[in-house]
Copies of this chain bind each other. A is one copy, B any other.
Amino acid sequence: MSHRIDSLPHLHLVVLAGGSGTRFWPASRRLLPKQLLALAQDPETSLIAETVRRIEPLCPPERVLVATGAHLVDVTREALPWLPSSAFLGEPVARNTAPCIAWATAIAARRDPEAVVMVVPSDHHIGEPSRFLEVLRTALASAEHAITTVGIHPTRADTGYGYIELGERVEGDVYQVERFVEKPNQSVAEGYLRGGRHLWNSGMFFFRAAEFLDAVRTFAPEVWSGIERIERAAKQGPEAEGEATRAAFAAFPSISVDYAVMEKATPLHVVRGDFGWSDLGSWESAWELAAKDENGNSITEQAVYVDAHDNLVIDRSSRARDKVVALLGVEGMCVVQTDDALLVIPRNRSQDVRRIVEALQKADKHDKT
């Protein structure tokens, strides 16, 4: 314990937990977004709890900040009961990642002017946690010199991610970032995979707080002015701070940290990472991660498969233990059930789940979204 704290005494972890959670409907809801679900192998632990636990060897609870929507603070706190209540930041309104990260970074810097900040999404899966921690140590060492991100070694020509093009090697797995690339089309993605100079953008960032806030002031002045306003008000007490935060968020542009800061910052480093990462983008990735039988069907106490292959069955209803889910003659299907909803969708259409949510809203069934 003492080694861990001594070695990174200024490290602050910022967990981004602002997800809206339509992709995992019906398990995810407006008030139960993806990061609060247990979607990886452990059926008891939410993704956000796994995220914080995974990094605990580097960062103790008192230096964790969790940024989520104001309406989600209570449920998020319940998912992370061992964190102090000062860990939870409720965004008055969602404004994408740049305002949120700047805000959390300013708070970390207020607590510790020498803060080094590590920003991670709350809803990803990491298959190899110890390799992940090694990459984090490398990224944190790099962050002494430059804002640093982690790029994931691509395993397929995925068109659903942004990519980071590698520049010159700095040392070991650390490279200069040549540029950020938007989601490519299929043939471009295939070229990236063959070329070996593009990594998936993981949305993780590592920096000295002061350096990042400088970059915000320089590259995103409309964000910086709100942060300054909050910091001034904070000196007058929590009430003034809360009011300034609401006003600042109302005025913030909705803008990603990639676009507002990262694409403009130099130098910018990227660490090449390969640690069984999945962004768990849809029910299809949940199937990929699930424990499966010899026919590729997810193993659950509830399911009975007859002449069925490569299916995912998830029953999150309160009566799941007393219920059987039977699939016959069905292939590649996701069947997901909660107390008030049931979804049946082919795995390869699972990225379209949001169309169900839209249809429910249109049908005035808001209680089901």
A residues whose Cβ falls under 8 Å from a Cβ of B: 25-26, 304, 306-307, 319, 322-330, 333, 335, 337, 339-346, 349, 352-353, 355-356, 359-360, 363, 365, 368
**A356 touching B304, Cβ below 8 Å:** yes
Among candidates B319, B327, B339, B359, residue contacting A306 with C-beta atoms closer than 8 Å: B359
How far is A318 from B6 in the complex, measured between Cα atoms in Å?
A: 58
List the B side residues contacting A306 at CB < 8 Å: 352, 355-356, 359
The 5 closest A-B pairs by CB, nearest first: A329-B349, A326-B356, A328-B345, A325-B342, A324-B341
* Copies of this chain, tallied across the complex: 2
List the B side residues contacting A355 at CB < 8 Å: 306-307, 328
Known: A304-B356, A306-B356, A339-B319. A26 touches B344 (CB 8 A): no
How far is A359 from B327 in the complex, measured between Cα atoms in Å?
A: 11
**B337 touching A342, Cβ below 8 Å:** yes
**B304 touching A326, Cβ below 8 Å:** no
Shortest C-beta distance, A222 to chain B (Å), equals: 39
List the B side residues contacting A341 at CB < 8 Å: 323-326
**A340 touching B359, Cβ below 8 Å:** no
Shortest C-beta distance, A123 to chain B (Å), equals: 22
A selection of 30 A-B contacts at a CB cut-off of 8 Å is A26-B326, A304-B359, A304-B363, A306-B355, A306-B356, A306-B359, A307-B349, A319-B339, A319-B340, A322-B339, A323-B339, A324-B340, A324-B342, A324-B368, A325-B341, A325-B342, A325-B344, A326-B341, A326-B342, A326-B356, A326-B359, A327-B344, A328-B352, A328-B353, A328-B355, A329-B349, A333-B344, A335-B344, A337-B342, A344-B344
List the B side residues contacting A344 at CB < 8 Å: 325-328, 330, 333, 335, 344
List the B side residues contacting A343 at CB < 8 Å: 326, 328
Shortest C-beta distance, A153 to chain B (Å), equals: 31
Q: Which residue of B lies closest to A305 (CB)?
A: B359
List the B side residues contacting A323 at CB < 8 Å: 339-342
How far is A349 from B307 in the complex, measured between Cα atoms in Å?
A: 10
